[in-house]
Structure 1
């Protein structure tokens, strides 16, 4: 019999709809029920692609005995962290404060007024590895609530008060000296042998790579190329179909945690396109192209948006649900598909060993060196075809505003830089879907599924990512409608999320009040809401010439500039912004001419490939309505003409690609 989660738009919550646990979704009704029954709330937070979330669900939430303990002593609330990043953020802060660590599934016990008093992550059904069993935890919390409730309530209030006052002052400046200091810190953390930063586990440092791609420091490109090549050749990269897993459990990128997230792949697409743009690397071009193909094949939904993730787990040949079963190979499996000769070659090429590089004698596929491209393509195709017959990992098909925004932004850039107009159409279709479905009552929603919008309000990163995507679409297609939407999103960000001191809160002023209003400027796997807002407002200012957007972006960047020197690995997009302000300022390129004229197309392609990162390129008829950048930009001798500008002050116009190339290369 289904519980209250059966009507959710979250695939993660739907995975728990048949649990014997009497789950509630997050909301006032659940906490009112806890107050009525005078019991604590068990808050369980996870996401659909989370391996250990699946494990705990199977071991505990599907167990009738444990479910009975939960139902009798608690109000159980299940939250998809991807739908409610605000709830996840504030209770993760509590979990880390109480335990010194965090992760998912996150297990937090709250008072009926939503204050946390005990927290942890995964608990096994029986004591194991120094962890108490989940039944033991439930029993201990239940007894403490019964016998020492006043003490727990007082402690919960104290925890909430301490966390609310724990925000450090990160304001500062980020000039050339601070940028150099940040790059020096990154250089010390860089793994020169294996690429990436720090030790295992290693996460794709896509935000830091974006910053380094903008730098003219000679060590920056060494770190970029070493990292992106190591990842592209490692087991973290799907060597058959493209796409990257969430992280590598080892320092050499061999064994990934196999779940694949839209946000990682969207941000990495920008990295590999940027690498190709700067160097022409054939590897970068292949990885970027494969990545786009993977996004379209694996994550594009029937409605035209991009799904959130693929699970780590799938069924193996014996029907066991096992992490990596879809992706790993043994020499025997290669032989079954390829025959002896090609199998031996493939085993050597992809480092498939007799003992295995992963688990149970299986290996992840790596590609340490380039091979005969014709033979490699044939073997990849045959292995991919055979693998497609295996049970596939599950897909979380909800559409998240921010993640789709970053995917759209990366696709637009890839389309324009690599001359793939078909990619641009897919990006535009996805943006149309998000705008049409997620805009409700003059506000954005966080997510939708199968065309049905969710109830959770969008957070700062949603507005910022969609604003950046809208700005990029407006420039790429000279589309005034998308420019109007970008300005609406920017204005909404500035008014609803302002913190009164230059920065931004992560939730809107009218959003649900939690015990703490989230405000985290640090980048993690994705840009922080603040750094995303800085990039979006800066890009929009470049396109429109509106100084109010530029000034607001500068104030926001300054509000957390201290992060750049204190922890540059967690301030990648703020560092990227600082580099653009100090070393490689963006430009505006206005190209006046008929959009379909061959000379207009040539100038536009050159500008997209050669202009510094963060620049805007706009091609359209002179005085195109809605675009100040094209006002009074005339054609010279009736030929398509390019103007290279900074802050709307322009150089002399040029009409050839060679002259435009020279103009973009000079300071």
Structure 2
């Protein structure tokens, strides 16, 4: 998929790749190599530095740098003559990106994409940066000037460059291990205080522009409120979710979450849509609905799921990675509107109603008041956000609230139909194991909470695809699938998120095969990623050998870290099965994260969210329901916990007969927990203390510990 205007150029080596990002550069005049031995062998043979560029297909500034520099014959001539040039898709190779992004942040104090690295043939960098224009301007160095300066040093002071590269690489390697930390309530309190100090009380969210939704932080706040009764945590989560839903960061016409907001009020987004962001928002809204029973959170989750199923689902059931911010009309052209376009799509009467329901914010001059457009503004492109403080404001309309909701949906449908006539942004149609598994987790949890079996079925179908298409002959996970070809050995995120999805699918369906598969993958994960000396898990497996540094990340990025998810998985699996060895692994992982994050616990909000409903903080309860699933009494016991917000509860179902014996082989903790005389029984334990088994929903609910925050739940 060459970029527009490149089709007539002869292809470079990237034409044989599967990554949409690499294929976007396959017709550049730059003689790109994919990451691999061929490129580094040539660099050694010809004694040339390596120019490494890392990005991803829906990255706006990656497109800008490609157009300005990598499609330019002059830049290409210099790179082709003096360097060996390598392109990497960060989503295909997060391990490469992690190493060199860490080095860039170490050298410059910042990072981002496109990531620009110059290094030796031994993969040791001596220059790092992000986006550069072709020529220097406004105090920003240009790529051509940078390359010329590097060449001067390479030919005149190569020994010094090699020494610098050695030192930079040495500093990038894991340093002295921090003392193991205490994963306890105090860590949760410190994490909350940090987040509260950075909270924007006027607009919601954290810090100033740009604003990232970070739904995993909101999940931690909900669980912290549940554990401690701290109402400010609940308020922060709800205010942020409301601001996101009403802002331009939410696609008011077609649903779905854009990448981030460029302003503090959530009005002007970076328009890229990523599968991982949709998954996390669904999880946060589903949990907010559990905690508050407010229907608007369920609505957002369901609309977000509808967007993914409509626009990102592969015919075989898995999910594509992202949709671009750019389209032929420019960044955001598909999503933005002029007043004239709205009038034409709706007609004068409906356009007047729309002006009450929605606010137009100009793309240029975002500091202006909402809706203020220079001149008549009819030709200026604007972003839609919802007006008012409620999802469907009735103020100013001479109709009932229910009618307003109907009007709003009708207006959205008509705008969506008009928008569909525009050229769509490009879609990154590669299928990644980690983000697919994350969305499966969101689907399964939403299906369980909203009692929607279609969501659970969609999650099961996607998981079947992953197991059929993204494993090698030994059962190890692969990372990427596209164009009927799988490849790239799986990373820690692939294993951690797939295991989490299988556990969630078990809780949504009680199919014991899900739990068995989770345990099998978890064994592979421990065998190949575990740091036996210091706890936690490496990003790449022990079979990977093509990077100078083996990273072990503890902090969250756009999604919770693999170590945070692994801790949660290990703890949940140990509780579901009674396996003490898994509990020990979880504890070792928790101590590693707590030690590494001691100075900034809010950087590990994904871990804090898991810790807040774990045995370490006394918030966990384990429930075994024994009984025939077809019996109304069993169903009543299984359904009872769903009426409460119980993030620390895990449920295991033991049916009678041979099916129950099968459960016992996977989860020995179920042994001896059977129905009595055909009557379903509920066995509830907290830590090492178990209560007398009960057989009615009322008795079970009386025994379930709701947490300090539950009294605010309707």
TM-score, with length taken from structure 1 = 0.95
Cα distance in structure 1, aligned partners of 2:618 and 2:292 = 17
State yes or no: 1:412 paired with 2:444.
yes
Indicate the residue corresponding to 2:588 in structure 1. 555
Indicate the residue corresponding to 1:73 in structure 2. 82
Cα distance in structure 2, aligned partners of 1:393 and 1:308 = 13
Cα distance in structure 1, aligned partners of 2:448 and 2:611 = 25
Of 186, 191, 202, the match for 2:211: 202
Cα distance in structure 1, aligned partners of 2:640 and 2:327 = 45
Indicate the residue corresponding to 2:625 in structure 1. 591
Cα distance in structure 2, aligned partners of 1:280 and 1:405 = 26
Indicate the residue corresponding to 2:184 in structure 1. 175
Indicate the residue corresponding to 2:315 in structure 1. 302
* 1:654 CA displacement: 3.2
Cα distance in structure 2, aligned partners of 1:378 and 1:596 = 42
User: Is the Cα contact below 8 Å between 1:636 and 1:655 reproduced in 2?
Assistant: no
Indicate the residue corresponding to 2:485 in structure 1. 452
Cα distance in structure 2, aligned partners of 1:20 and 1:420 = 51
Cα distance in structure 1, aligned partners of 2:194 and 2:110 = 24
Matches within 5 A, 1:543-582: 543-562=576-595, 566-581=599-614
The structure-2 alpha-carbon separation of the partners of 1:648 and 1:332, relative to structure 1 and needing over 3 Å to count, comes to farther
State yes or no: 1:633 paired with 2:652.
no
Cα distance in structure 1, aligned partners of 2:673 and 2:544 = 44
Indicate the residue corresponding to 2:535 in structure 1. 502
Consecutive unaligned residues of structure 1, counting only runs of 5 or more, are 317-321
SS state at 2:384 partner: coil
* 1:598 CA displacement: 4.0
SS state at 1:537 partner: helix
Cα distance in structure 1, aligned partners of 2:655 and 2:233 = 39
Of 611, 635, 639, the match for 1:605: 639
Of 403, 419, 422, the match for 1:387: 419
Indicate the residue corresponding to 2:575 in structure 1. 542
Q: How many residues align?
A: 661
Segment drifting more, 259-268 vs 46-55: 259-268
SS state at 1:223 partner: helix
Indicate the residue corresponding to 1:224 in structure 2. 237
* 1:388 CA displacement: 1.5
Post-superposition Cα deviations, 1:331-368, rounded to whole Å, max 9, x if no partner, equal 21111111112112212321026897769722212113
Of 405, 409, 416, the match for 1:377: 409
The structure-2 alpha-carbon separation of the partners of 1:485 and 1:357, relative to structure 1 and needing over 3 Å to count, comes to farther
Cα distance in structure 2, aligned partners of 1:464 and 1:385 = 40
Indicate the residue corresponding to 1:264 in structure 2. 277
* 1:105 CA displacement: 0.5
Indicate the residue corresponding to 1:319 in structure 2. none
User: Is the Cα contact below 8 Å between 2:361 and 2:383 reproduced in 1?
Assistant: no
Of 282, 292, 298, the match for 1:279: 292
User: Is the Cα contact below 8 Å between 1:258 and 1:312 reproduced in 2?
Assistant: yes
User: Is the Cα contact below 8 Å between 1:564 and 1:575 reproduced in 2?
Assistant: no
Segment drifting more, 477-486 vs 259-268: 477-486
Consecutive unaligned residues of structure 2, counting only runs of 5 or more, are 1-9, 367-372, 374-378, 393-403, 708-714
The structure-2 alpha-carbon separation of the partners of 1:632 and 1:450, relative to structure 1 and needing over 3 Å to count, comes to farther
State yes or no: 1:520 paired with 2:553.
yes
SS state at 1:589 partner: strand
The structure-2 alpha-carbon separation of the partners of 1:418 and 1:131, relative to structure 1 and needing over 3 Å to count, comes to same
Indicate the residue corresponding to 2:382 in structure 1. 363
Post-superposition Cα deviations, 1:236-271, rounded to whole Å, max 9, x if no partner, equal 111122211111111111111111111111111110
State yes or no: 1:338 paired with 2:352.
no
SS state at 1:339 partner: helix
Of 193, 196, 200, the match for 1:187: 196
Superposed CA RMSD in Å reads 2.1
* 1:539 CA displacement: 1.8
User: Is the Cα contact below 8 Å between 1:347 and 1:353 reproduced in 2?
Assistant: no
SS state at 1:532 partner: helix
Matches within 5 A, 1:122-133: 122-133=131-142
Cα distance in structure 2, aligned partners of 1:380 and 1:606 = 37
Cα distance in structure 1, aligned partners of 2:259 and 2:198 = 20
Indicate the residue corresponding to 1:661 in structure 2. 701
The structure-2 alpha-carbon separation of the partners of 1:649 and 1:284, relative to structure 1 and needing over 3 Å to count, comes to same
User: Is the Cα contact below 8 Å between 1:584 and 1:612 reproduced in 2?
Assistant: no
Cα distance in structure 2, aligned partners of 1:539 and 1:345 = 50
SS state at 1:19 partner: coil
Indicate the residue corresponding to 2:325 in structure 1. 312
User: Is the Cα contact below 8 Å between 1:186 and 1:568 reproduced in 2?
Assistant: no
Of 451, 461, 477, the match for 2:493: 461
User: Is the Cα contact below 8 Å between 1:172 and 1:562 reproduced in 2?
Assistant: yes
Post-superposition Cα deviations, 1:302-337, rounded to whole Å, max 9, x if no partner, equal 221111111011123xxxxx1111111122111111
Indicate the residue corresponding to 2:712 in structure 1. none
Indicate the residue corresponding to 2:400 in structure 1. none
